[in-house]
Amino acid sequence: MHATIAPHNHSNSGSSNAAPARIGSWRVVDIVVASVLGVAAGVIFWAWGLAWETVSSPLKVALPGMQAALAAVWLFAGVLGGLVIRKPGAAVYTSTLAAVVSALVGTQWGGFLTIEAGLVQGLGAELVFLLFLYRHWTLPVAILAGAGAGLGMAVNDLLLWYPGAATEFIVIYTISAVVGGAVIAGALSWFAVRGLAATGALSRFASGRQARISA
């Protein structure tokens, strides 16, 4: 990550035409806002961890593997960070920071595995934004980023937490993670950005200006 004071990006369309040289430059405000998002998400992650067994148990019983759909709540940080900051590394940074905060507050999954999961999940979203060269921030791209985070979560969890699982479980878990990620982390994060933009909180970001113009 590289911090620099860069001019504002005046993009006003869903497909940003910002100069490539500015795409990789992080401003101080980018770091601050991404950090705030990461910390806030980390607290939410911690709270979701406390409620996890209660909310996921019915799904585990009804259809083992489908609990991954609810686990997608842990995926929104990376997608939200990417959509707001619109810079390379934002999804990984926000997701990993959220995991670090969650681990520091306390989690039943252990510090290292929690942080590692946040990194992998953020990377799943980051790769989708990279695929679109950090120029497209539409709802479909957000949904794909959420799905990418969900796929990252599924691969990571199946390798570390469910080694040797039955094929049926693997299929259900993966589909649930991808769909949950697309809806919860992808679509909801995109609408959350529009909601934040409407308040003026993102006025220093292209994401905020674009959302207000298209509203």
Q: What pLDDT digit, counting tens, does each position of 68-97 carry?
A: 999 999 999 999 999 999 999 999 999 999
Confidence check: pLDDT of 8 > 70: no
What average pLDDT does the chain have?
88
Greatest mean pLDDT range, 9-13, 23-27, 132-136: 132-136
Phi, psi of 204 (to 5 degrees): -90, 5
Residue 71 lies in a domain: yes
Residue 65 lies in a domain: yes
Q: Mean per-residue pLDDT for 173-188?
A: 98
How far apart (Å, rounded) are the C-alpha atoms in residues 34 and 119?
Answer: 15
C-alpha dist (Å) from residue 184 to 66, 74, 109, 160: 14, 9, 22, 23
Residue 6 lies in a domain: no
Indicate the range of 16-25, 125-134, 145-154 predicted with least confidence. Answer: 16-25
Residue 209 lies in a domain: no
Enclosing domain of residue 145: 28-204
How far apart (Å, rounded) are the C-alpha atoms in residues 86 and 205?
Answer: 9
Question: Please, which pLDDT band fits residue 205 given cuts at 50, 70 and 90?
Answer: confident
pLDDT of residue 116: 96
Question: Please, which pLDDT band fits residue 108 given cuts at 50, 70 and 90?
Answer: confident
Residues in Cβ contact with 141 at an 8 Å cutoff, skipping those fewer than 6 apart:
128, 129, 132
Residue 10 lies in a domain: no
Residue 23 lies in a domain: no
Q: Mean per-residue pLDDT for 112-135?
A: 96
Residue 169 lies in a domain: yes
Residue 86 lies in a domain: yes
Number of domains the chain contains: 1
How far apart (Å, rounded) are the C-alpha atoms in residues 79 and 70?
Answer: 16
